[in-house]
Structure 1
Amino acid sequence: MQQLRPFHQVCYDLGVRPTLFVDYPVANNEQAAQVIRELQQTGQYEIAAHLHPWCNPPYFGRPNERDSHVVNLPIEQVEIKLKNLVKILEEQFQVRPVSFRTGRWGIDGKVMQLLKQHGFSVDCSIYPFWENQFFDCHDAHLAPYWASLQNPLKVSAEKDMFEIPVSVGYNWRDFHRANRWHRRISSPRLSPLKPLALAWFTHWLRKLYLSPELTAAEDMRSLIDQMLENGMRVFHMYFHSSGLVDNPNSLVCNENAFHTISRALAELVRHLQSKADVRFLTASETATYWREANL
């Protein structure tokens, strides 16, 4: 959290307007909360809600893999956890959040309807081309859309909840075709042959994330170029604040993490600005722009 102070200068110089998805432990830590309040005073940040079930009170039994995903919890448990999260965000930052992200991704209709009931209007929990044993986002939309409250993967004519998927794709122009191939060569039966590694190192097929924790700047440039070719207008970068310190969980930031992410962000902003007219928006500002532009 302390690294957010110097990182603010990087964002300020570039004009970037971050959305801070804040979870309960961060909001409940006075030192961390003070950092966020300082950033908040600049008017450059949006404070959003980030629900990690295992560290957001109240607690129901011992944490486990299944219950670490919001979609697996009884909706009554999700609601009381959400209420506690919103309460502490209001107490610490004097703002009621309207944007939301689940911990560990994934969302379903019952959670989406709960968000609407509690005043949220923007969700950022969809992770395209990703699945686990609890949810599947392979058929998710890649561009922002007004989501159905019954099925968040579907578009709705009602403009109740705006979904902003994070930016994920491939080094092929046809992302969906690339994803079908990626799933085929990800088969456990083929794992002894290391087809994913072969596809990556030969540049035949690379799955790319607009996240400096997961993807090197060169590959993120490739993703941006492919997205532009596909006519996409919104680029949603994401990473954990812990990624700003040297972090063994980061694929590309094990050393010099702060400078790696800062340089990557600056490089990508310049690259995108060389190809398009760029406007920086927080999550809720994106929803407002989308509505006013009638997109």
Structure 2
Amino acid sequence: MLPEATAHYRPPAPERDQRIDWPDDFGLRFTLFVDAEEEFDWSRPFDRANRSTSHMRALPQAHQSFTDVGLAPIYMVDHPIATDPCAIEILGALVAEGTAAIGTQLHPWVNPPFIEAVCEANSFAGNLPPELEAAKIDMLGAAITRAFGAAPRAYRAGRYGLGPHTLATLESRGYALDTSMRSLYDYSGTGGPDYSHLDVGPFWCGPQRKLIELPLSSAFTGVLRGHARAVSRLPGAHLFARAGLLSRVALTPEDMPVEDALEAIRIMAGDGVRLLSFSYHSPSIEPGHTPYVRDAADLARFYRWWDAVFALLARMGARPASLDQIIAAAWATR
């Protein structure tokens, strides 16, 4: 068995010629990536035995709330989902009706081949030896292809765990888009990657620059946001958030107050961001599986968050963007 990994990855910031400038007719768009994954206790160590996907029975109702506003969610499927007959049937029906797309999400601790030690550092797939990371990506891609009849085109490393070899592997396997980089976030304290230096702008990456990188949308809000990068590195920086002076806000209902999210949307749109990327974890659609939705009241709050966000986006004239539309628009700029 391979030992625990220790390194972490800091991808280089894109050069100007790597940046993707959306076509003039693209407008302001938004999309939704769903981390479609197994249920597990987030407060406990990782365990290969945690493969339950019972919450997927609630997915059709949740899905409808997104298709009602024209979204075609992109479900980033991991190995337990891709090999569960019930989950395959539910997601397959949504894909068949044209209201969903399927991507890949790698949780290495539940994705064969099982060679590495199960530990926090190895939960970031990019820390694994490149041959093992590639083997896991290949086995997951094959499972998704069998389950849904087409090879996945989008990838997300579970826990945002890219490594120095991941993008080359994805590009060589024909992936079109990666969405593993969480702009403004740093996971190096637990052995993961550091994306704190990246903004939300999309860019071409991979050895041949044929892979679209679409970082998850995050923004600093508050009166100190003009000095955010310097202030956020200061000891006790969390006190600025408590005082309402500086907050880092990701576009997710999970642990992000709705008023903060609405402000972040306004800021990003005002700064010229043309594509807003939202996300959530699929177990959050049923109480009791994530720290964000523990009971019925939390679930009601989850849906109210989306109602408020969609209302603002409608007022701003923002339109949904599907996976195919995003890929086509990026390639139209080449």
TM bucket normalised to smaller: 0.7 to 0.9
Tell me which residue corresponds to 1:255: 295
SS state at 1:183 partner: coil
Tell me how far apart the structure 2 counterparts of residues 89 and 175 of structure 1 sit (CA, whole Å). 41
C-alpha displacement at 1:4, in angstroms? 1.1
Tell me which residue corresponds to 1:111: 166
Tell me which residue corresponds to 2:9: none
Tell me which residue corresponds to 1:234: 275
User: Is 1:205 equivalent to 2:246 in the alignment?
Assistant: yes
Tell me which residue corresponds to 1:155: none
Tell me how far apart the structure 2 counterparts of residues 242 and 126 of structure 1 sit (CA, whole Å). 21
Q: In the alignment, residue 228 of structure 2 is paired with which amino acid?
A: A
Q: After superposition, what is the alpha-carbon deviation per residue over 1:130-154, rounded to whole angstroms, capped at 9, x for unaligned?
A: 112232111113111112x25xxxx
Tell me which residue corresponds to 1:154: none
Distance 1:254 1:278, change over 3 A: same
- 8 Å CA contact retained: 1:105, 1:126: yes
Tell me how far apart the structure 1 counterparts of residues 147 and 85 of structure 2 sit (CA, whole Å). 9
User: Is 1:17 equivalent to 2:62 in the alignment?
Assistant: no
- 8 Å CA contact retained: 2:125, 2:163: no
Tell me how far apart the structure 2 counterparts of residues 83 and 254 of structure 1 sit (CA, whole Å). 34
User: Is 1:146 equivalent to 2:186 in the alignment?
Assistant: no
Distance 1:14 1:39, change over 3 A: same
Tell me which residue corresponds to 2:125: 70
**Which one of 264, 279, 282 corresponds to residue 319 of structure 2?**
279
C-alpha displacement at 1:11, in angstroms? 1.1
Distance 1:6 1:248, change over 3 A: closer
Distance 1:57 1:182, change over 3 A: same
- Which structure has more RCO (C-alpha within 8 Å, separation ≥ 6)? 2
C-alpha displacement at 1:70, in angstroms? 1.2
- 8 Å CA contact retained: 1:51, 1:85: yes
Q: In the alignment, residue 197 of structure 2 is paired with which amino acid?
A: D
C-alpha displacement at 1:238, in angstroms? 0.7
Q: List runs of 5+ in structure 2 lacking aligned partners.
A: 1-55
Question: TM-score normalized by structure 1?
Answer: 0.87
Number of residue-to-residue matches in the alignment: 275
The percentage of aligned residue pairs carrying the same residue is 23
Question: Over the residues paired in the alignment, what is the CA RMSD in angstroms?
Answer: 2.0
Tell me which residue corresponds to 1:243: 284
Tell me how far apart the structure 2 counterparts of residues 172 and 206 of structure 1 sit (CA, whole Å). 6
SS state at 1:170 partner: strand
Tell me how far apart the structure 1 counterparts of residues 73 and 223 of structure 2 sit (CA, whole Å). 28
Tell me how far apart the structure 2 counterparts of residues 249 and 4 of structure 1 sit (CA, whole Å). 15
User: Is 1:93 equivalent to 2:148 in the alignment?
Assistant: yes
Distance 1:119 1:228, change over 3 A: same
User: Is 1:290 equivalent to 2:313 in the alignment?
Assistant: no
C-alpha displacement at 1:25, in angstroms? 0.6
Question: TM-score normalized by structure 2?
Answer: 0.77
- 8 Å CA contact retained: 1:122, 1:284: no
C-alpha displacement at 1:248, in angstroms? 6.7
Q: After superposition, what is the alpha-carbon deviation per residue over 1:230-277, rounded to whole angstroms, capped at 9, x for unaligned?
A: 1111110111001112247434x33334432222222211102212x3
Q: After superposition, what is the alpha-carbon deviation per residue over 1:82-122, rounded to whole angstroms, capped at 9, x for unaligned?
A: 11101111111101101000011032341101111111010
Q: After superposition, what is the alpha-carbon deviation per residue over 1:152-202, rounded to whole angstroms, capped at 9, x for unaligned?
A: xxxxxx650001111111114885731321221xx3xx4xxxx51x42332
User: Is 1:130 equivalent to 2:188 in the alignment?
Assistant: no
- 8 Å CA contact retained: 1:171, 1:206: yes
Distance 1:14 1:122, change over 3 A: same
